[in-house]
Amino acid sequence: MPRILSSLAAQSILAEETAEAWLCLLTITHPDLQTIRIVNNTEPVVRGSAVWNPCSFEASFPDDTDDATPKVALRIDNVDREITRQIKTLQGPRPQVRLEAVLASQPSVVEMGPFTFSVLQVDFDLMELEVQLGYQEDFLNQGVPAQTYTPSTSPGLFV
């Protein structure tokens, strides 16, 4: 499915030079967590009643392919350690992460996404939090149907 960009986004991509800035909004949610909203910017971004706070991070968006399960590598600056502290204490279901790309001049218009993933793995050190995002189930490689039909499991089929 092709991406449809706003005219301002298309102009910024096609222009030889532009003052337009692309921002990545990242939202981390979990039942035991106060929602974390960060943006790779030096200023907060407000959209509706939600505020994304500035934080240095890098995210690689998934490729537009139909034959691979999307995975994202996310690297978040770990200088203040607040996000690491919150994620380390989580129990139960995996945290969910939503990525969206917007233009700084119009943050209410989502140009790419939203992409929603589960946190598969978290590694951290003093400087950086590395998060592997993907789907909990590798649904593209599951057998269909999931069960096998044999004389012992489905005797009615073999009469």
Element (DSSP H or E) covering residue 116: strand 106-124
What pLDDT, on the 0 to 100 scale, is given for residue 122? 86
Residue 147 lies in a domain: no
Q: Which of 27, 38, 19 is nearest to 104 (CA)?
A: 19
What is the average pLDDT across 121-138?
A: 82
Tokens of 89: 């204490």
Question: Cα 118 vs. chain centroid, distance in angstroms?
Answer: 8
CA 159, CA 144: separation in Å to the nearest integer? 24
The model's confidence at residue 91, banded by pLDDT at 50, 70 and 90, is confident
What pLDDT, on the 0 to 100 scale, is given for residue 62? 64
CATH classification of the domain holding 19: 2.40.10
Residue 57 lies in a domain: yes
Residue 99 lies in a domain: yes
What pLDDT, on the 0 to 100 scale, is given for residue 154? 74
Residue 159 lies in a domain: no
Q: What is residue 155's three-state secondary structure?
A: helix
Residue 155 lies in a domain: no
Residue 51 lies in a domain: yes
Tokens of 53: 């706070």
Q: How many CB atoms are located within 10 Å of the residue 103 CB?
A: 20
Domains contained in the chain, number = 1
Q: 110 versus 146: which is more confidently predicted?
A: 110
What pLDDT, on the 0 to 100 scale, is given for residue 140? 52
Do 56 and 133 form a contact (C-beta atoms < 8 A)?
no
What pLDDT, on the 0 to 100 scale, is given for residue 26? 94
Is the pTM above the cut of 0.95? no
Residue 156 lies in a domain: no
Residue 113 lies in a domain: yes
CA 130, CA 136: separation in Å to the nearest integer? 18
Is residue 51 over pLDDT 90? yes
CA 41, CA 22: separation in Å to the nearest integer? 9
Q: How far is CA 123 from CA 73, 98, 130, 136, in A?
A: 11, 19, 5, 18
Residue range of the domain that includes 92 = 7-137
